[in-house]
């Protein structure tokens, strides 16, 4: 399957970012970095591998605590699906858009 076909299956637009995160599963906490994010989920780089279907909470800078579930392993982390209601999802999309716009403005200032 081509990468374009995979992209077409996505329900939400995915944005590449680099943001610190803390993943919590029960009593365990792991530091990680958000590699990409959408309203539906995220790719998280971590030093540990979690099993598929592991329920967790992701604390993302500027977004807060988000309940999620591991949907697959990545080479250096996991892909998670957020488990939020539709009404919270709409606000979440707005928050992600604001963060992306802020990061774009910061990058533009660096290049100017």
Instruction: Give the Cα separation of 47 and 81 in Å (integer).
Output: 19
Q: What is the pLDDT of residues 28-69, one digit of tens each?
A: 999 999 999 887 899 999 999 899 999 999 998 778 899 999
Global pTM exceeds 0.85? no
Question: In this predicted structure, what is the pLDDT of residue 12?
Answer: 63
Q: How does DSSP classify residue 1?
A: -
Q: What percent of the chain has pLDDT over 90?
A: 46
For 9-111, CATH number out of 1.10.4010.10, 3.60.130.10, 2.40.10.220, 3.40.50.2000 equals: 2.40.10.220
- How many angstroms separate the CA atoms of 42 and 40, rounded? 7
Measured CA to CA, the distance from residue 76 to residue 66 in angstroms comes to: 21
Q: Report the chain's mean pLDDT, rounded to a whole number.
A: 84
CA 107 – CA 23 distance, rounded (Å): 27
> Would you list the domain boundaries of the chain?
9-111
pLDDT in the model for residue 3? 42
């Amino acid at each position: 399957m081509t990468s374009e076909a995979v992209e077409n299956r996505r329900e939400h637009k995915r944005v590449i970012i680099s943001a610190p995160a803390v993943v919590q599963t029960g009593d365990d906490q792991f530091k990680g970095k958000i590699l990409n994010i959408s309203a539906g989920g995220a790719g998280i780089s971590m030093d540990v591998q979690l099993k598929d279907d592991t329920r967790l909470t992701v604390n993302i800078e500027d977004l807060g605590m988000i309940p999620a579930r591991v949907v697959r392993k990545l080479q250096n982390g996991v892909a998670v699906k957020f488990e939020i209601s539709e009404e919270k999802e709409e606000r979440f999309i707005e928050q992600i858009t604001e963060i992306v716009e802020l990061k774009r403005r910061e990058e533009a200032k660096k290049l100017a």
